[in-house]
Chain A
Amino acid sequence: MPFTTLSRRGFGLLTAALLATSSLTVPALAETPPGVLVVGQIAEPQSLDPHAVTAVNDFRILMNVYDGLVRYKAGTLEVEPALATGWEISADGTAYTFTLREGVSFHDGSAFDAEAVVFNFDRMLKDDHPYHDTGPFPLSFFFSAVQSVEAVDAKTVRFTLNEPYAPFLSNLAYPTGLIVSPAAVMEHGKEFGRHPSGTGPFRFAEWRANEAVVVERNPGYWDGEAASDAVIYRPITDANTRVAEMLAGGIDMMVEVPPTALSQFQGDAFKVAEQAGPHVWFLILNAKEGPFADKRVRQAANYAINKEALVNDVLEGTAEVAAGPTPPAFAWAYNEALEPYPYDPEKARALLAEAGAEGAELTFYVTEGGSGMLDPVAMGTAIQADLAAVGLNVKIETYEWNTFLGNVNPGLEGKADMAEMAWMTNDPDTLPFLALRTDAWPDKGGFNSGYYSNPKVDELLEAARVSTDQSERARLYKEMQVIVHDDAPWVFVANWKQNAVTSAAVQGFALEPSFFLLLKNVAKN
């Protein structure tokens, strides 16, 4: 046989290759030791400077490295003391005086005191502050009501607001209100975001670009030491790859599990956690012109869309049907009496006939993705079909997220009749105040892209914003929800339930309604 040499050589080559590969595969996968928790993140963080970032993905690290003056009580969206042990609000609601916790120091060893708090807010809010150039600080407008911050003494700090602003406390509990070490900002300047220092249960250890952010236990943490030695955050942008890493044991915990992948985590090896959050997914309806200028047509759209089918079939149960503009996660401000619009195509048809809008042509802006938008293309298509069933002829225009925002935020007038939108907020004030008031129309700098206007709603929202009494605010918000529900400026579709999967070895984990990932009490055995 002339070719035996060749085959033998080829065979030898193949064997060598196989041996080489198998020598690579001999050691079992390097398991992370117990006590080290590996978390699958959805992206590389932008920065670990809490004042410079906007993404929930980054908050998941920051909330474990820093503390704020206040925080949300576990399992709620109500504020409780953290670095401040207590506070007083002046009768007119414009001065907040905080008493600070004694004996707390930053991870870099510098002391936490009133001057540090002043530094934090001045850096963000004052253009002439020597460290203002370590920004930009995109969410600093959360504190735009703050006129001045002063250290009364080492353990007392006073915020003076230019007008009463009820969401102030819950904004302080948001990551933008976390307290950073002034000494570290002075040392690292613009690079502070890569050399973070706070007071939180974990301190920063290492950031390997595009591989991992490592934080380790902060010994002597004022609120009890963390249960884990360290947490490693891995950025894995592709959802399928993240699922595969979870299945293969490369990560101990993942968030934002795609609905279609949840079934793979049933069984004893994994635990699935779910928590509804302050999120609402809705359709903005153009109330200024076209068919939706008629309230009956807007209500008809609410009746025509099968929201149960959307949350159960398209979103595979990862959301609940929304009843109104305020998510139920804001338990204290949510009107329990509100019922979602039932799925009733007959009633929708009747309303459309009454309004003379049968067979109307509608332009519908749909986004391809985006923060909190869930499965926007599939949802948009299902909504289009539901509206077609009651005789509305909907034409979909799909845009990439940033382009979409650039089209929707300046207002729908002259362009579209409806658009998808989703918001995740930390206070019941934020969304309606920015997106439902007359003074929030796009030309006035707000997000009321559908031009809804009801003087009573305006009045209620303005009053709720300046009241410092939570029960009074609750009453105002509940009344607002009833009116908005009836006026139907939006189609109220879904409240997202955030989900997470952990391996069975992970103990003590729970998701928070704030959607923050708090890992202090989480252990891996």
Chain B
Amino acid sequence: MGGYIVKRLVSAVPVLVGITVIVFTIMALIPGDPATAILGSYATPENVERLNRELGLDRPLVSQYFIWLGNLAQGDLGRSFALNRPVLDEVLERFSATLVLAGAAFVLCAVTGIAAGVVSAARQYGWADKAITVAVILGISVPSFFLGMMMILLFAVRLRWLPVSGMYEIYGGGDLKDLLRHLAMPALALSVVATGVIARLTRAAMLEVLRQDFIRTARAKGVGEGRVIWGHALRAAMVSVIPVLGIQAGFVLSGAVYIEMVFQWPGIGRMLVDAILKRDILLVQGGVVFVAGCYVVFNILVDVAQSLLDPRIRT
């Protein structure tokens, strides 16, 4: 088992190096440099050259890459030009904010999606099924940022139940309750589309299972309907629902970018958008490498978990 983990870790190294090459090359290829972005209207060739020199961007690209890679290997992601602080501090702070938002949205879409799918399968063609189907199709069709804006207008501006934006109250606050109040709208807006997808697939999977013989047998034996649905049918249907949950988790994480913009959530998606616009090279590179690294680690964990469940994978 230990050997397998080591093997997996070693095979991740070329992937990570490849990512650094790609990110570095893309940032080097896009037009406009940080000095121009910082100087704006004052970007004379002379000023740009001077600033690039002070930022260390006058060195050849290859040596810039290796300096960056060397520092990276020591855990030093450099300093952001635009924020004037260490990249690592910013990335960690922002990534944890994104995890809070995406995590909450994922729990929300998994729970409500599965529940809605089960209810609508159990009451196929009943009023609940029809209502849920309409709601689901609406949910899938509305772009999440638009929904976010509408929610702000209703719940924050008109009804004043919830704060418009941010992660914590600007004055006072800062506790869990404060966080939940700020999280409610963005998490809901982010979860809607995924909820719809999960609900549709759960419904289909449930309908298929509910037609099978063992369900009829269970009913014939006099097992309560609740137990049949939630205990027997759902468990069998989960086999096809779980992979969908995995895909939706990635979808929620990437969809967080839009929601972070609308709700000013201080997450990593918003950070990367701002950093790209400002040509904040080190912040973009550091942020992308960090996120990519997390995906790689997550993949290894999944593989290891799978191999624990099924030793055949290890070979």
Interaction A to B: yes
Instruction: Verify B171–A248 contact, CB threshold 8 A.
Output: no
Given A24-B184, A244-B153, A244-B156, A406 contacting B36 (CB threshold 8 A): yes
A260 touches B (CB below 8 Å)? no
In the assembled complex, the Cα of A422 lies from the Cα of B224 at a distance in Å of 74
B266/A211 in contact, CB under 8 A:
yes
Please state if B40 and A248 are interface contacts (CB–CB under 8 Å).
Answer: no
Q: Min CB distance, A452 to chain B, in Å?
A: 17
Whether B83 and A36, one on each chain, are in contact in the complex, defined by CB atoms closer than 8 angstroms, is no
A-B contact count (CB 8 A): 171
Render A134-146 as a binary contact track against B, CB cut-off 8 A, 1 for contact.
0110110100000
Contacts of B180 in A (CB 8 A): 24
Q: Which residues in B have their C-beta under 8 angstroms from that of A13? A: 115
Query: Total interface residues on A, using CB and 8 Å?
Result: 72
Q: Which of B13-21, B41-49, B301-309 is the interface stretch? A: B41-49
- Give the complex CA separation of A297 and B123 in angstroms: 74
* Min distance, Cβ A13 to any Cβ of chain B, angstroms: 8
Q: Quick check: B274 and A237 within 8 Å, CB to CB? A: yes
B170 in complex: contacting residue of A212, A237, A240, A442, CB < 8 Å: A212
**Cβ–Cβ < 8 Å partners of A52 in chain B:** 84
Question: Which residues from chain B contact A6 at a C-beta distance below 8 Å?
Answer: 119, 122, 225-226, 229
| Chain B contacts for A111, CB-based, 8 A | none
Q: Is B32 an interface residue (CB 8 A)?
A: yes
Query: Is A241's beta carbon under 8 Å from chain B?
Result: yes
A426 CB → nearest B CB, Å: 12
Residues of A within 8 A of B84 (CB): 46-47, 49, 52, 190, 193-194
Q: Contact check: which of A2, A7, A25, A138 meets B161 at CB < 8 Å?
A: A25
Find chain B residues with CB under 8 A from A30 CB.
169, 171-173
Determine if B225 and A29 form an interchain contact, defined as CB atoms under 8 angstroms apart: no
Of B207-215, B243-251, B256-264, which stretch is located at the interface?
Answer: B256-264
Q: 1/0 contact trace for B166-193 toward A, CB 8 Å?
A: 1111111100010011001000000000
Q: Is there a chain A Cβ closer than 8 Å to B157's Cβ?
A: yes
Contacting pair A241 B152 (CB below 8 A): yes
- Among A325-333, A397-405, A467-475, the stretch in contact with B: A397-405
Q: How far does the alpha carbon of A456 sit from the alpha carbon of B168 in the complex, in Å?
A: 59
* Cβ contacts under 8 Å, B30 to chain A: 403
CA distance A402 to B43 in the complex (A): 10
Is there a chain A Cβ closer than 8 Å to B76's Cβ? no
Q: Write out the residue numbers on chain A whose beta carbons fall within 8 Å of the beta carbon of B279.
A: 402
- Is there a chain B Cβ closer than 8 Å to A247's Cβ? yes
CB contacts (< 8 Å) of A190 on chain B: these are 79, 84
> Which residues in B have their C-beta under 8 angstroms from that of A358?
none
Knowing A10-B115, A248-B160, A402-B37, say if A211 contacts B32 (CB, 8 Å).
no
**A115 part of interface (Cβ distance < 8 Å):** no
The complex places the Cα of A444 from the Cα of B153 at a distance, in Å, of: 52
A447 an interface residue at 8 Å Cβ cutoff?
Answer: yes
Give min CB distance, B97 to chain A, whole Å.
8
Complex CA gap A402/B169 in Å reads: 34
Residues of A within 8 A of B37 (CB): 402
Contacts of B44 in A (CB 8 A): 409, 434, 445-447
Question: Which of B32, B51, B177, B270 has the most chain A CB atoms inside 10 A of its CB?
Answer: B32
Q: Does B3 contact A (CB under 8 A)?
A: no
Q: Contacting B264 at CB < 8 Å: which of A36, A209, A237, A442? A: A237
B residues near A46, Cβ cutoff 8 Å: 82-84
Q: CA separation between A180 and B279, bound complex, in Å?
A: 28
Q: Tell me if A416 counts as interface (CB < 8 A to partner B).
A: no
Task: Determine the chain B residues whose CB is within 8 A of the CB of A36 once the complex forms.
Answer: 171
Decide: A400 and B32 in contact? CB cutoff 8 A.
yes
Query: Are the C-beta atoms of B51 and A232 separated by less than 8 Å?
Result: no
A-side contacts of B41, CB under 8 Å: 371-372, 422-424, 447
Contacts of B36 in A (CB 8 A): 402, 405-406, 409
* Complex CA–CA separation, A190 to B149 (angstroms): 39
| Pairwise interchain contact A250-B94, C-beta atoms closer than 8 A | no
Instruction: Knowing A30-B171, A194-B85 are in contact, say whether A24-B261 is a contact too (CB < 8 A).
Output: no
Chain A residue with minimal CB distance to B40? A371
Contacts of B153 in A (CB 8 A): 244
B195 within 8 A of A: no
8 Å CB interface, B258-286 against A: 261-264, 266, 270, 274, 277, 279
Bound complex: CA A372 to CA B42 (Å):
13
A156 within 8 A of B: no
Q: How far is the CA of A36 from the CA of B279 in the complex (A)?
A: 35
Let me know if B289 is at the binding interface, CB within 8 A: no
Given contacts A241-B165, A244-B164, contact A405 B45 (CB under 8 A): no
The residues of A that contact B82 with a CB separation of less than 8 Å are 46
Cβ of B171: which chain A residues have Cβ within 8 Å of it? 30, 32-33, 36, 38, 232
> What chain A residues lie within 8 Å of B157 (beta carbons)?
244, 247-248
Compute how far the CA of A467 lies from the CA of B263 in the bound complex, rounded to whole angstroms: 52
For residue A419, give the distance in angstroms from its CB to the closest CB of chain B: 13
A259 within 8 A of B: no
Asked whether any CB of chain B lies closer than 8 Å to the CB of A78, the reply is: no
Shortest CB distance B274–A (Å): 7
Q: Which residues of A contact B131 (CB under 8 A)?
A: none
Asked if residues B40 and A241 are in contact (CB atoms below 8 Å), the reply is: no
Are A25 and B162 in contact, CB atoms less than 8 angstroms apart? yes
- Whether A445 lies near B46 (C-beta < 8 A) is yes
Q: Considering the complex, give the chain B residue whose CB is closest to the CB of A446.
A: B44
Whether A29 lies near B119 (C-beta < 8 A) is no
Residue of A nearest to B32 (CB): A402
Residue B54 CB within 8 A of the other chain: yes
Report the Cα distance A5→B172, complex, angstroms. 44
- Cβ A138 vs Cβ B38 within 8 A: yes
Interfacial chain B residues near A250, Cβ < 8 Å: 156, 163-165, 170
Partner of B38, one of A25, A54, A245: A54
Using CB atoms, name the residue of chain B closest to A133.
Answer: B54
Q: Which residues of B contact A25 (CB under 8 A)?
A: 161-162, 181
Q: How far is the CA of A442 from the CA of B262 in the complex (A)?
A: 40
Please, what's the 1-or-0 string for B81-95, where 1 marks a CB less than 8 Å from any CB in chain A? Answer: 011110000100110
Is the Cβ of B264 less than 8 Å from the Cβ of A139? no
A263: interface (CB < 8 Å): no
A236 at the interface (CB under 8 A from B): yes
B160 pairs with A28, CB closer than 8 A: yes
Encode contact with B along A331-347: 1 for CB under 8 Å, 0 otherwise. Answer: 00000000000000000
A432–B233 CA distance with the chains assembled, in angstroms? 77
Which chain B residues border A210 with CB–CB below 8 Å?
Answer: 93-94, 266
The complex places the Cα of A454 from the Cα of B106 at a distance, in Å, of 65
Taking CB atoms, residues of chain A closer than 8 Å to B294 are: none
Q: List residues of A (41-56) whose CB comes within 8 Å of B's CBs.
A: 43-44, 46-47, 49, 52, 54-55
A472-494 at interface with B (beta carbon < 8 Å): none
23 of the cross-chain contacts (CB-CB < 8 Å) are A5-B225, A29-B160, A30-B172, A44-B83, A47-B84, A138-B47, A210-B93, A232-B171, A236-B264, A244-B149, A244-B157, A244-B164, A248-B157, A372-B41, A401-B32, A401-B277, A402-B37, A403-B31, A403-B32, A405-B43, A407-B31, A422-B41, A445-B46
Known contacts A409-B45, A424-B41, then 15 further A-B pairs from the complex at CB < 8 Å, ordered by chain A residue: A3-B123, A54-B39, A136-B51, A141-B42, A238-B262, A238-B264, A241-B165, A244-B149, A244-B152, A248-B157, A402-B32, A409-B36, A410-B45, A422-B41, A447-B41
Q: Which 3 A-B pairs have the closest CB atoms?
A: A402-B32, A210-B266, A136-B54
